[in-house]
Structure 1
Amino acid sequence: MRADSSVGAAGPSAGATPQVSFRALGTTASLLVDCPAALERGRALLEEELAAIDLACSRFRPDSELTRVNHAPGRPVRISALLTQALAVALEAAAATDGDVDPTCGGALIDLGYDRDFAAVASGDARGGKHGVVTARAIPGWRKVELDRRENLVRVPSGVVLDLGATAKALAADRAAARIHAAVGCGVLVNLGGDIAVAGQAPDGGWRVRVIDDEDAAGRVPQQAVAVTVGGLATSSTGVRVWRRGPENVHHIVSPATGRSAEPYWQTVTVAGDTCVAANIASTAAIVRGPGAVAWLEALGMPARLVRPDGATTYTGPWPRPDAATGNGS
């Protein structure tokens, strides 16, 4: 990755590259390909991959595998290879972040009012949004989840509600990009609401991706265009998926230490990684870790851009720093 010019949710820059966008997984899914003839086939594969991940991992669909697991407390449940992979990724994320990214936070999210598709939560209907007060709930902890990867079996104890929102979308981006590239043979970029994965040979100069701190202010604030050639890029934010719960504004990134929305020390954290999953795990954990995120990301050597609510910006690893005179990346 390298940067071309200067600021938080991420999306491909507009241009002549063949691309298509549509709604999926509660966000906008975009596909860019390096050869026009591959776009139609690529979109079909992307839609198929996203439909599969939604059926496996959605906390809101009554017919999803994850709902079946959450409704079988204490009992082993046989699951698909896809949900096994998604659960394994979520548990590996928890282990890698010392529990800062924990899939057993579903109960806490429900207490915060995030108990159905976000569009309904944000509307403040009778069950959530504007009603109730925020209560803290202890996070059961990822070590309580028993996953047999060989037999595709999972058991969660009573009181544990799994939520894979922190990792499943990034996994879908990685899977889809790899699958589409294998099928069409050209360079591919998949963007799922700021979770970006690339596969195959990138265009000359790389895939140019805009990084925006405040989507509402796009065009009025500096933006950074980064060139992505391999791996993935992910942005986590305390300024999106925000809703009212009683007198408080809350958001979807839960601190397992408190069972409440993480303190908004950072407005956005954007991280580049070997995969979209790796980038997403790091960006989410950085939000939870607050001021401790900088040293942690530096120790990992991960390129990141961390932006405070007042716009103060910190960079880690080889993330390109903007030129002080021009505001452009180098």
Structure 2
Amino acid sequence: MRIALPPTIDAAAFAARDPSAAVLDLHGKTMGTSWSVRFAAPAGVDPTAIRKAIVARLSGLVAEMSHWEPDSLLSRFNRSAPGTWTTLPPDFAHVMTRGLAIAETTNGAFDPAIGKLVDAWGFGVIPVTHVPSRLEVETARASSGWRRLVFAPSGAHLRQPGGSALDLSGIAKGHAVDAIADLLHNAGISNALVEIGGELVGRGIKPNGDPWWVDLESPPGLALPALRIALHGMAVATSGNYRRGAHTLNPRTGHPIETHVVSASVLHQTALDADAWATALTVLGRGGLELAHDLGIAARIVTVIDGTVQEYLTPGLSAMVSD
């Protein structure tokens, strides 16, 4: 089996670990999927209180950035009048800051402002019964796109240019994973594995000194060699149309992707970046490998063309892998 090890190891985590600590599991539902947390419990930690704090934190993020909740701040922004400025709370502002930066780096392969296109194809809140016409797609594209947004990070003000709709489904879940890991750290829990809908971040180590091992997700039915990852100070996210509710649009064409990518996985320091980059590489396909190489992004892209399965590892990931 192939194993991927992080480029750096936190020696302090090993020195500070408590071999007698119990490993506890918490579970729940959020963002239309499930969440789970596994952590080495320090003495005196109340799991019930931790779970309550996790639920509250996730509920707050949904209230800000869900495009499924009509009363969320995101939904209110999408309905706001042209020229309206919305002041974003810290989580929302952070997601927009990183999302717009990644949109620029990928030339729009990742785009947080494709809500109208998502709706046109029936992938959003309101399903449609037909494939959109060329006119419908072009109309949606005309009001979409990250370049139409004006964001002032210093004051966290976001301007509605008129008709634009945010859809943060390709980045907000990753941020939620990071946020829960930070919540646990602030509660004195330094060793934990956090997962939301298959996106994970690992902090610290297990009480026995092992890292948090996870197997890289692969599309069902494909005979790919297994890849086990030591999530130690790292996050991983996978994008793929085989996943429940997943539909990948190319923001630059307004149509579903034609890259033959069935899975794109990214390892990164944060789940937010891993999430957004997995989406971008799904859109870019093999053409994104050079960009990932130049930026040192650790990624795996899987394509299926005429029944032939091909796996591509970027140098950033290959450098971590050993048999």
**Same fold flag (TM > 0.5):** yes
User: For residues 99 and 182 of structure 1, what CA distance do their matches in structure 2 show?
Assistant: 35
Give matches, 1:199-214, under 5 Å: 199-201=203-205, 204-214=209-219
Q: Once the 2 structures are TM-superposed, how far is the Cα of residue 322 of structure 1 from its aligned partner?
A: 11
Matches within 5 A, 1:65-214: 65-74=73-82, 75-116=84-125, 128=127, 131-135=129-133, 136-137=137-138, 138=141, 140-201=144-205, 204-214=209-219
- State how 1:3-82 maps to structure 2 within 5 Å: 3=3, 17-35=23-41, 37=45, 39-74=47-82, 75-82=84-91
The code of the aligned residue for 1:214 comes to P
Letter in 1 for 2:3: A
Aligned partner of 1:281 among 246, 265, 276 = 276
Distance 1:90 1:38, change over 3 A: farther
Distance 1:277 1:105 in 2: 18
User: 1:35 Cα deviation (Å)?
Assistant: 2.4
Q: Mean alpha-carbon deviation: is it higher for 187-196 or for 63-72?
A: 187-196
Q: 1:277 to 1:293 in 2, by over 3 A?
A: same
Query: Scaled by the length of structure 2, what TM-score is found?
Result: 0.81
TM-superposed deviation, 1:153: 2.4
Contact 1:22 1:29 in 2 (8 A): yes
CA distance in 1, matches of 2:32, 2:157: 28
Unaligned runs of 5+ in 2: 6-21
Aligned with residue 250 of structure 2, among 240, 252, 255: 255
Q: By how many angstroms is 1:102 displaced? A: 0.7
In structure 2, the CA distance between the partners of 1:299 and 1:31, relative to structure 1 (3 Å rule), is: same
Query: Could you report, residue by residue, the CA deviation over 1:11-45 in whole angstroms, capped at 9, with x for unpaired residues?
Result: xxxxx942222221011111110227564443223
User: Tell me, which stretches of 5 or more residues in structure 1 are unaligned?
Assistant: 6-15, 117-126, 243-250, 324-328
Change over 3 Å in CA distance of 1:186–1:82 after alignment to 2: closer
Q: Which residue of 1 aligns with 2:309?
A: 311
> What is the DSSP-based 3-state SS (H/G/I as helix, E as strand, rest coil) of the residue aligned with 2:261?
coil
More RCO (CA 8 Å, sep 6+): 1
Give the aligned residue type for 1:26: G
Q: Secondary structure at the match of 1:308?
A: strand
2:242 matched residue in structure 1:
239
The aligned amino acid for 2:159 is: R
> How far apart in 2 are the matches of 1:182 and 1:200?
14
Tell me the secondary structure at the aligned position of residue 118 of structure 2: helix
1:105 and 1:144 mapped to 2: Cα distance?
A: 11
Q: CA RMSD in A?
A: 2.7
Query: Number of matched residues?
Result: 293
